[in-house]
Amino acid sequence: MTLLSVFLEDTTALLVALPLLGAFSAPLVGKVSAKARNLWVIAIMALAELAAVSLLVDVLGGNPHFYAVGASDPALPSAAGFPFRIVLVADAMSALVAALAMTMALLSVIYSLRYESGNEGLEKYYSLVLLLAGAMMGLCLTGDFFTLFVFLEIASISSAGLIAFFSSAESFEAAFKYMVVSASGALFLLFGVGMLYGQYGMLNMASIGDSMAAQATFVDLAALSLLVSALLLKSGSVPVHMWKPDAYQEAPPQVVVMLVSFALLSLYLIFRICFSVFGAMVFPAIGWTVAILGALSIFVGVVMAVPQRNLRRLIGYAAIAEIGYVMLGVGTSLLAMHDSTGVGMSSMHGGIFHMLNDAIDMGLLLLVVGAVTYATKRQELDQVSGLAHRSGALAALFLIGVLSIAGLPPLNGFASKVIIYESVFRINPMLSVIGILGSIMMLAVFVKIFASVFLGAPYKGCFRKIPRSMLIPMVVLAVIMIFIGLFPGLVLERLVFPAAEALLNQEMYFGGVL
Amino acid sequence: MMSMHYLAVAAILMIGMSALVSRRNLIKIIMSLHVMGSAVNLFLVSLGYREGSIAPIFTNAPSLQMVMPAPQALTLTSIVINIAVVALMLSFAILIYQHYGSLDPRRRRLSG
C-alpha cells in the first residue's frame, strides 16, 4: 500500500485531524521562530486543502466515503443492535462545502501572513484560526448529532476568541454579543438533540432518519424546529442578526471571511438535517418560515446597509442580505420538494449554488476592504477617496466583487440568483420581488462605496503598498468568480447537481452507515 | 412521576430565558445562560433514567437493569463545554468593565 492510497483512504478523518494538529502545535513551533510558525501553518493548511480537494474529486467520481472513527467498518452495530459509533460522512454535498470552507480558510491564512505581521501573540491567533477550520471540517462531515453540537461549540468559541483577538473595547463588546447568541443557540440545538435521543435512543443521523415512521410525531417536529431555529441563530438571519454587523466590523477581515463560511455551513446543516434525516416528513410551515425569514433578511440587510459609514459594518449588513438569498432557496426547496413541477429541485440547486457564490463574493469584498484598511489605516467611508489612482488593481478587484454581489450578468452572483428568483417566483411572486429589489438596492449601495472610496481626486494621505501575499488570495477569488460566471452550466452540472442528488438520495445516506 | 423531571426542566429553562432577555447586567446574562445550560443537562440526564436501576458499570454488577450510559456521557461533555463558554464570557465581561467602567450593556458604542 502506497502512502498516497493511505492518504486517500483516510482523507475524511485527516480533514478534521490535520487542522487540529496544526492548532495545538502552532504555539510550540512558534517558540522556534515566527518564520517557522508561518511555514508550519501554511504547510498544514495546504495539506488539508489537498485532502479536501482530493476527497471532493473522489466523491464526485461516485464514491461516497463513510468513515467510522475507531472502527474498521461503519456498518458494525453495537451490542444493542444499532451503530453507536462516531461516523464521518462525505457525500457530494458535504465534500463540496468542506472543500469550499477549506479553500476560504487557506486563502485567509495566506492573507493574514502580511496583514497581521505587525502584531504580537500571533501563534495564538493561528491556533484559533486552525481550530476554527478544523471545527468547520467537522461540521461538514459529521454523521451524528452530538458531534455536531460539539463542533458547533468549538467553532463558536474559537470565532469569539478571534473576534476579540486584537483587543479593543468594541471588539470585546462584539464578541460578548456573539457569544450570548451562539451559546443560547447551541443550548437549543442540544435540547432538540436530546428530544430525538429520547424518542429513538440513538444519535446517529442516518439511523434516526431510518427509524422514523412515515408520519412525523409531535416530538420529531418539535425537535426539528428547535434544530432549525438554533442553526438560523448561528447563520445570523433576521430577527437575530444584531451580532453580525458588530462582529464583522471588529474582527480582522480575513477572519470574517471564515465567519461567512461558518454562517453558510449552518445553512448547509439545515439542508442536511431536513433532507437527509427528516426526508419526506418536513412540515411545510418550516419551509415557509425559512423562506419568509430569508426575504426579511434581504430587506433588513440592504436597508440597514444604506446609512452605514464604516466599510466593514456595511459589509456585515450586506452579508445578512446575502444569507437571505440562500435561505430563500433552502426554504422554497423545503416547501416544494414533492412538487411534480420540479420547482423544489431547482430552488435547491439555486440555494447550493448561491452558497458557493456567496462565500466567494463576500470573501473578495472583505479582503479588498481589508487591503484598503491596511494601506490607508482608515475604514470610515468619508475618510478615503480616490484610491483608484494609487492602486488600480484594488479598484478593479472591488468592482468585480460589487458587480457579482449585485447579481449582474457575466459574473457568478447572477447565475445563482436567477435560478433562485425563477423558482421562488413560481411559489410566491412576492418573495421573488423582494429578492430582486434587494439586489438592486445592493448595487446602489456598493456603487456608492465604489464611487466614494476609489473615484475622485487622487488620495493624498499615506498609502502602504499592498504586499503580494495579500494580492494573491484576492486574485484567486476574482478568477474563480469570472470562471463560474462564464461557465455556470459546467459548475452546475459537475458540482451542484451531484450535491443536490446526494441530499435527496436518503437510501444511499442510510445504506452507507447501517 | 416521570413528568416531574420535564416540568422541572421547563421551569428552569423558562427562568433562564426570562432572565436572559430582561436583565441589564452582563454577569446576570452569563448566569442566566448557565441556568439554561443546567436545564438542558437535567433534561439529558433524566432522559436516560430508569426507575430502580443501577449505575452502568458492568464489572460485578448485581443486576443488568442499568440507567443508560450515553446521556451521561453527553451531559459530561456538555458541562465541560458550558464551563468553557462561561469562562470565556466572564473574561469578556472583565475586559468590558475595564474599558467602559460599567457592566450595563446599554452603555456601549456599537449600535445602528
Q: B41-100, pLDDT tens digit by residue?
A: 999 988 887 777 777 777 777 777 777 778 888 899 999 999 999 999 999 999 999 988
pLDDT of residue A463 exceeding 60, the answer is yes
CB contact under 8 A, B70 and A164: no
Backbone angles phi, psi at A70, to 5 degrees: 80, 20
Most confident range (mean pLDDT) of A81-90, A264-273, A380-389 is A264-273
CB contact under 8 A, A176 and B26: yes
Measure CB to CB from residue B109 to each of A160, A161, A170 and give the nearest one. Answer: A170
Show residues of chain B in contact with A164, CB under 8 Å. 92, 95
Show residues of chain A in contact with B93, CB under 8 Å. 176
Q: What percent of chain A has pLDDT over 70?
A: 95
Residue of B nearest to A250 (CA): B110
> Which residues, at least 6 apart from A161, have a Cβ–Cβ distance to it below 8 Å?
A128, A175, B88
Quick one: DSSP state of residue A342? S
Residue of A nearest to B31 (CA): A180
State the ipTM, two decimals: 0.92
In whole angstroms, what is the distance from residue A478 CA to residue A398 CA? 9
CA distance A176 to chain B (A): 6
Is residue A322 within 8 Å of A358, Cβ to Cβ? Answer: yes
Would you state the pLDDT for residue A401?
92
CB contact under 8 A, B78 and A149: yes
CB contact under 8 A, B29 and A160: no
Q: In chain B, what are the domains?
A: 3-50+68-100 (1.10.287.3510)
CB contact under 8 A, B37 and A160: no
Chosen from A144, A146, A180, A309 to mutate, greatest number of chain B CBs within 10 A: A180
Domain coordinates of chain A in residue numbers? 3-513
User: Cα angle at A274 between A268 and A275, to 5 degrees?
Assistant: 90
Number of other CB atoms surrounding residue A158 within 10 Å: 23
Report the Cα–Cα distance between both ends of chain B, in Å, rounded.
Answer: 50
Residue of A nearest to B90 (CA): A176
Measure CB to CB from residue B33 to each of A153, A180, A246 and give the nearest one. Answer: A180
Cell of B24: 441589564
Place A77 in a pLDDT band, splitting at 50, 70 and 90.
low
In whole angstroms, what is the distance from residue A198 CA to residue A200 CA? 6
Would you state the pLDDT for residue A470?
93
Q: Please give the mean pLDDT across all residues of chain A.
A: 89
Is residue A477 within 8 Å of A400, Cβ to Cβ? Answer: no
Average the pLDDT over A221-227 and give the result: 92
Taking only the tens place, the pLDDT of each residue in A377-427 is 888 888 888 888 888 899 999 999 999 988 888 888 898 999 999 999 988
Would you state the pLDDT for residue A79?
54
CA distance B47 to chain A (A): 6
Quick one: DSSP state of residue A459? P
Residue of A nearest to B68 (CA): A201
